[in-house]
Chain A
Amino acid sequence: MLRHTRHTNRPTLLLIGCLLLARPAAVSTMQSAGDIAVVVNADVPVDNLTLGELRRLLLGDREFWPSSTRVTLLIRAPVARERDIVLRNVCQMTEAQFRQHWIAKVFRAEAPSAPRIVYSGEMAMDIASRNSGAITFVEASQVTKGLKVVKIDGRLPGEKGYLLR
């Protein structure tokens, strides 16, 4: 009986060992699954943005990348989770405040147009991949090849302390 128990426990212990070894990756995947990645076109010469820089991009105070390419801001339509997180965590604004901000921004002649609205993560990434100055926000788990995920304050999605979750 004892011998039998020992036999049955061996694969279990092996499985637990495997799970323990795989634990950091599993946690990272679990965390990044809910994180929103800041994604730019591969040609954008930026790898890291501070919170302040990201906020200025979102609010139209920064209109050009260091390469002098004009920023094309693509943002999900209202109610999307990506938009809610970005407005709350970066802009510290409600939906109404964000919309009023952009109406005023264009009216003050400080920006030629409001952010371009996209209706899905796929649409956001498709346009971002074809527009040399594009920046957008998508679920980290959905990011496809050919786009660059930008660090925010030195952190990527899934890392501890990442802002957009």
Chain B
Amino acid sequence: MAQQTAAEHAAQNQTSPNVAEPEYPSLHLSGFGDFGFAHQNRSEGARGFNEGQFVLHLSSSLSPRVNFFGELSLSTRADAGTGNPPATGFNAEVERSIIRFDQSDRLKVSFGRYHTPVNWWNTSFHHGQWLQTTISRPEMTQFGGRFIPVHFAGALVEGAFPAGGWNLNYKAGIGNGRGTVISRAGDAGDNNASPAWVLNLFAKPDRAFGLQAGGSLYFDKITLANGREFRERIVAGHAVWQKEDPEVIAEIASVHHRDVGDSRATSNLAYYIQTAYRLPSLGRLWKPYYRFEHIDIATASPVFQGVLNLDGSIVGVRYDPSLFAAIKGEVRVRRRPRTSGWFLQVSFTF
């Protein structure tokens, strides 16, 4: 089969002298999917079997220096069939839509809807459940969560400098910031006159291949549905050891709000640390993991009203029966109030 494919390619080369030159636009389509099962003592999300997200990823080179990236998700709805007209079974969402102009490794400019580069997890795994070791995302970066702004609509400048083997990377962006519903981005426009700013810096040193460490700053003005306005400042940091023996991910974020009206301020903190280890030799298909996470919300926070404090642990194992599919099982114990449960997931890319 491999020989046949090689022969086909050789023949293709002979008949097409320009095979080395790419054609534009060149669209590539890939996707992610997952199915899960949940058993919980107290309902915090779906119970029983559930279809996760069906995610399509599109990438297309429009020229050697211009590329488009898109991510579409279809998520099941708990209210399917209710209302008038009846709600559909799935919710469609344009998660990311980015057009990027590449000048060089040091300068790339893009426009669109992103996952905000204020958090490592948020910009590393997106909606690809198969990519992440665990079943669940950390609570601080949960989709639909409010702690950090998950999405960002605007423009981004990014690049990388070798810097003597330190490999310094930067991302600087301006955008609409949070919408009136603060878990959502201002996709249709900014709800106030102050844009959001984000700056993300990190290093990937050659001498410690596998390590990435960095931090982010994010500034915005939030306008709530009741008209109250707050200045938001997020300071975040991350350190990640990306090899699998072991894998260590640690992130911390401090979210500070100051009421524009009376200058009262609140601070909120969240962090998590996750470790995993790909077993050697015969056990290499197995990867046990553990994560501890903590969220501390200021009692008087008007912006995060209803967001619960959290101390939680998850322990689980990932099994990779194929290069492109994984089966994960994990137990979660949380204190907020106390909940516990066990979860199974099959995730894959295609």
Contacts and interface: CB of A to CB of B under 8 A. Distances in A.
Interface stretch (B18-26, B176-184, B227-235): B18-26
Nearest to B62: A112
Residue among A118, A119, A122 with most chain B CB within 10 A: A119
Nearest to B57: A107
B6 A119 contact: yes
21 contacts: A55-B209, A61-B204, A62-B160, A92-B243, A94-B284, A95-B323, A96-B320, A99-B323, A104-B131, A106-B28, A107-B57, A112-B59, A112-B60, A112-B61, A113-B28, A113-B59, A123-B10, A127-B13, A130-B20, A131-B21, A134-B20
Interface string B320-338: 1001000000000000000
B294 interface: no
B20 A123 contact: no
Residue among B20, B69, B100 with most chain A CB within 10 A: B20
B2 A119 contact: yes
Name the 6 nearest CB pairs between A and B, nearest first.
A52-B206, A119-B6, A109-B69, A130-B20, A131-B20, A112-B67
Contacts of B128: 103-104, 107
B213 to A, nearest CB: 15
Given A63-B102, A104-B125, A113-B28, 12 more contacts: A55-B206, A55-B209, A62-B160, A103-B131, A104-B128, A107-B32, A107-B57, A108-B124, A109-B100, A113-B59, A120-B10, A123-B13
Interface residues of B, number: 48
A77 interface: yes
Interface of B: 2, 5-6, 9-10, 13, 19-21, 26, 28, 30, 32, 57, 59-61, 64-65, 67, 69, 71, 96, 98, 100, 102, 104-105, 123-126, 128, 131, 160, 162, 165, 167, 204, 206, 209-210, 243-244, 284, 320, 323, 349
A70 interface: yes
A63 B167 CA distance: 14
A36 to B, nearest CB: 19
Contacts of A77: 2
B9 A123 contact: yes
A122 B57 CA distance: 33
Nearest to A118: B9
A62 B20 CA distance: 20
A119 B209 contact: no
A106 B59 contact: yes
A153 to B, nearest CB: 12
A127 B20 contact: yes
A113 B61 contact: yes
A108 B98 CA distance: 11
Interface in A95-138: 95-97, 99-100, 103-104, 106-109, 112-113, 118-120, 122-123, 126-127, 130-131, 134
A144 to B, nearest CB: 15
Given A99-B323, A107-B126, A126 B13 contact: yes
B28 A107 contact: no
Contacts of A126: 13
Given A63-B105, A99-B323, A119-B5, A109 B20 contact: no
B123 to A, nearest CB: 7
Nearest to B69: A109
A61 B169 CA distance: 10
A119 B12 CA distance: 12
